[in-house]
Structure 1
Amino acid sequence: MNWSFERLSHGLWQPDLVGGYFADRGLCGASGNSGLLRFHDDHTGTVAQEFVDMAFGPRGVRAEVFAFDWRATQFAISRNIDIDGNLVDDGRPGTIVTLDPFDMSVSPWGLAVDTFEAALSLPIVEQSLRPDLFDDWRNAKDVDRLTLTQCAGATVPAFYGGQASIDNFALNDVEVYLSFVAQVWAFGQQHPGEPAPHLRTQR
């Protein structure tokens, strides 16, 4: 997959586990392929980190975000998730994980942060990003490109039975969407088996 990046913001995002790696390369606030993948700036990084801490933290996940895709899946660095997805003690070298608000899954890559750009050319990464679905969704919803504050948010998350389909993804504000997912997920943990309030289901 070929990549083309444009800078949408000059705000820097340098969490401890990532450091200045992407900032030094001028990638903070950059968007690739019309918003398929974007690197956090100081605003989006703060919003996403709060979501990760709130939604994944209670499960023992400690991770610091650096990028996100069109569906607001977070790319992060963690020291307490091994290659099999198990929680381990801190102290190991930080490696890349993805944190998906759609199904609340944690997927380890087992790669260091300085391999991320090279990994973007791997077929497995393309399968994860689903550029064909992104293009089909943009065409169906008449969306030219995503800004740093926009995403394709699921009306019904997968953990409530939603499907990864064009009809289930709507143009949304990232902060609003992540807040929605965090609240719906928290409700489901407190009231297992009960439908979430104000959740529109697909027919």
Structure 2
Amino acid sequence: MLEIFGTRFDVTDGIPGSPENAGINVAYLFSRYGGCTFNGGLYRVHSTESFRKASAMVAEAHPEFGFPLIPFAFDWLGRQFVLDLRSGDADPEILLLEPGTGEALEIPRKFSTYHDDELVRDPEPSLCVGFFNEWKIENPTDLAFDQCVGYKVPLFLGGEDSIHNLELSDIEVYWSLMAQLRLATIDLAPGTRISEIEFG
């Protein structure tokens, strides 16, 4: 696991580890690349500290899940890659939690092969590489580990899916705002007009 991934994605921040034994679980991923940023912020693997924060963030935003959410990585849009534990499989598939759309998308790939297969063979569906490159043309500075590029107006409230609706954000602040908006509007009928927004 991670042998091919490590040759195709460049570590641009953080120091990779050297685990003594190979593995196919999250512990191995964290020991190898925990706290590392790839390709200027395109993809990042959680550190121990960011994992704890992300676990709380996704639990707040998605209370409908009846199992612990274990985020292992996140991308430039702040989207969290989480183990899908619903099957009880020792090698689970993956959920992609998107703060800007308020959705949880299923990625039908096993965790053990996800990095060396899906992210290497076709990273576009998971990471929106083309959109990232478009953003980088106007914003060439690499993202800090605690930053993401968030939607000014989330897509679930009618925001445009364009770089003009994006801004640099602190990832914790962004997730907190999106969680409050998602939970406050999730039961509204499509097209419902919102006249006022207050944050607690």
Deviation at 1:104, TM superposition (A): 1.6
Once the two structures are TM-superposed, the CA of residue 198 in structure 1 deviates from its matched residue by 5.9
The Cα of 1:107 is off from its aligned counterpart by: 1.7
Residues 1:63 and 2:43 aligned together: no
Give unmatched runs, 5+ long, in structure 2. 18-24
- Assess if the C-alpha contact under 8 Å between 1:8 and 1:147 holds in 2: no
Q: Choose which of 185, 195, 201 in structure 1 pairs with 2:182.
A: 185
CA contact (8 A) 1:48 1:178 kept: no
- Name the structure 1 match of 2:80: 74
Equivalence for 2:12: 6
Q: State the 1:122 CA deviation.
A: 2.3
Q: 1:15-164 residue pairs with structure 2 within 5 A? A: 18-24=25-31, 26-60=32-66, 62-80=68-86, 91-93=88-90, 94-118=92-116, 119-123=118-122, 125-140=123-138, 142-164=139-161
Find the counterpart in structure 1 of residue 173 from structure 2.
Answer: 176
Q: Distance in 1 between matches of 2:107 and 2:125?
A: 13
Q: Aligned with 2:70: secondary structure?
A: strand
Q: For 2:12, give the aligned amino acid.
A: E
Partner-residue secondary structure (3-state), 1:75: strand
Cα deviation code 1:65-98 (max 9, x no counterpart): 0000000111010111xxxxxxxxx534422111
**Superimposed CA distance per residue, residues 92-141 of structure 1 (whole angstroms, 9 cap, x where no aligned partner):** 44221111111122222232222122121122x3233122211221222x
> Number of paired residues?
182
Alignment RMSD, CA only? Answer: 2.7
Give the superposition deviation at 1:167. Answer: 0.9
Do the aligned partners of residues 106 and 32 (structure 1) sit closer, same or farther apart at CA in structure 2, a change above 3 Å counting?
same
Q: Give the alignment's TM-score, normalised by structure 1.
A: 0.78
2:26–2:72 contact (8 Å) kept in structure 1: no
Give the alignment's TM-score, normalised by structure 2: 0.80
Cα 1:178–1:50 shift into 2, 3 Å = same
- Structure 1 residues 173-182 or 186-195, which shifts more? 186-195
- Preserved contact between residue 67 and residue 85 of structure 2 (Cα < 8 Å): no
Q: Tell me, what secondary structure is at the counterpart of 2:64?
A: helix
